[in-house]
Chains A and B, each alone.
Chain A
């Protein structure tokens, strides 16, 4: 009994000490000014590409405005897409109408967003990366990206940089939403007669697997490898960094800048990144929210292409230093040509039958198995 008492007393002492150290709760902005509240629901952050880009956008928007409060909810750290979990999460944020805008994204989870949109028709939603083009709702603003254009440019760059004549791409999953990235990629590589290897590891999180499949690709002589696989891509980057003559192309955000401080060996292998500027989309949408024009856009499906700065490639100092002027000029010209519509880029979703019937042929045109 004595021992128990000692423990309890000790605990109480620690509590009091710690309690003294805890900070005061922050005083709210109570000036009667309208404060816009935005909630962002993601499975988790920390993947260094996809969701981190969204998080970047949220933080920038939050810092920019005094009258905007944003909150991030990491709903599903295990990435299980557990229906009960997500339904409860959306109920939690929508129920009391506490938030002016709810943001989420991603092919795997957007079903839950639309379900919530139907349950709460007065709530405004932003789907920052829509892929299910048949799902719409009057209270959801859907965003799509010109991924096929982006893939085309990356393909052109890979063709220009390769010394072995073989390049590769690691695509998280073999689903239409992801294949949209490489529809232009395969097109331009076939046109330039550069061979390519495609790997579908079937996961966006298993970094060890990413590393293994990349090593296999390098064995097949691929020397410019593009990762389009979220968290799994970290394994791809690691594998590329182990070989001096292999370039890696990042995805979603400027991964060179991301790893510059924390992991220079990885950063050194990233010649550029295929940007999918979800952060700019989020910032722009929050701008509209503050300006009061957001409601007009509800129900729209907006495509952000090269011209709107929705997609592009990262042209940072490293890119400038490592890619010759000639190639850079070529790529800049390609970017412009695609943006102006001079080049007709193969689009996965051209017609309902196009994907099932024609996509495999298109994809495998110059493939190395």
Chain B
């Protein structure tokens, strides 16, 4: 191969920069479309638009809501990150949030475990282990028998929702209110904010740091360990991984277990920081499992990207909520338009592709050009 010419870091030919540009333009287009919609919907579109972007900065509590809310989505996103990198489309996250959450709720309501500090740890552990095991079910059939893990996981999601509703209604129903929900959690199980005015104002609890830790760990595993290398290899080229002697079955089991555990932790965090009981029954599926897939997509399956994607999306959502409470003519659902455009554009591999290819050709980077053409 000829000597590789020096690539300009800020050129679109550089893979990383290309992804960055793609993301930025996707965000700008999403915001632009939202602005157009605002013009039709609101009496003061410019002000509304500004509120969406800066609203959460107005009060510490707003940022606090963002921080509090984005952690469970982060965990779900990390789970999907791992799975996408491995080439798995196991969307069981949604069902695991419900199943692990319900199981954890039983522990959370238990009085015998009510020891401060230990109680939440046990709950999170229970949720993690159960999540990991449940994620293995569709993965097992895919890895060993080649079944379609997508349909299997979707079926389990619906099944868990129905089963969960049944268990709550007939075996674990609260007696203090008329909600279809579990009894209240023990106060010791709940995870509160850290002490100190700053943490209280910004709703920072230990889960925030857990989230950062998890992001770092996933990044480390994926990019600095043998396991991660194998995962990425299997994701890019399963046949080659096979020939290289990687035991794809055991790899799939390990990856799915870790991913499922992350989902379980996310579920536990969501319930213990924001709820006093479990009420994800009937048609109230929390939706965090699927949203996690979207965060991973926006973050382009990179853990750090997922972190920022989750934060950014939740930030925008809070912005639209702030807008709604100051001007009810713009429903907070408008954020779905922004998110939709961003997700769709970012996951489109051909977006801005031609531009990149032209430049690649120009700079004589033949091998990169060929890689680019073949990648799908």
Contact = CB atoms under 8 A, between A and B. Distances in A.
Direct contact of A and B (CB under 8 A): yes
Contacts, number: 73
A161 interface: no
Contacts of B32: 8, 11
A84 B275 contact: yes
Interface in B42-67: 42-46, 59, 61, 65
Contacts of B65: 88
B217 interface: no
A91 B61 contact: yes
A46 to B, nearest CB: 13
Interface stretch (B73-81, B122-130, B247-255, B276-284): B276-284
B179 interface: yes
Given A11-B32, A108-B179, A111-B177, A22 B44 contact: yes
A14 B36 contact: yes
Given A72-B328, A95-B61, A177-B178, A83 B36 contact: no
Contacts of B181: 81
A14 B32 CA distance: 11
A15 B328 contact: no
B274 interface: yes
Interface in B311-349: 321, 324-325, 328, 331
A81 B39 CA distance: 32
Interface in B249-288: 274-277, 279, 282-284
B39 A78 contact: no
A1 B324 CA distance: 36
A66 to B, nearest CB: 20
B145 interface: no
Nearest to B276: A83
A288 interface: no
Contacts of A18: 36, 39-40, 45
Contacts of A72: 328
Contacts of B97: none
A84 B324 CA distance: 17
A73 B328 contact: yes
Contact of A73 (B25, B40, B44, B325): B325
B178 A173 contact: yes
B88 interface: no
Contact of B45 (A22, A74, A132): A22
Contacts of A25: 43-44
A132 B177 CA distance: 8
B35 interface: yes
Interface in A167-191: 173, 175-177
A80 B165 CA distance: 13
Interface string A195-238: 00000000100000000000000000000000000000000000
B278 to A, nearest CB: 10
B115 interface: no
Contacts of B328: 71-73
Nearest to B282: A203
Contacts of A79: 284
A93 B177 contact: no
Given A18-B36, A83-B275, A108 B325 contact: no
Given A19-B39, A78-B284, A93-B325, 20 more contacts: A4-B352, A11-B36, A15-B35, A15-B36, A18-B36, A18-B39, A18-B40, A22-B39, A23-B43, A24-B43, A73-B324, A73-B328, A82-B279, A83-B277, A84-B69, A88-B65, A108-B179, A173-B178, A177-B178, A203-B282
The 6 A-B residue pairs with the shortest CB-CB distance, nearest first, are A18-B39, A84-B274, A80-B284, A175-B178, A92-B325, A83-B275
Interface of B: 25, 32-33, 35-36, 39-40, 42-46, 59, 61, 65, 69, 177-179, 181, 274-277, 279, 282-284, 321, 324-325, 328, 331, 352, 355
Interface of A: 1, 4, 8, 11, 14-15, 18-19, 21-26, 71-74, 78-84, 88, 91-93, 95, 107-108, 111, 132, 173, 175-177, 203
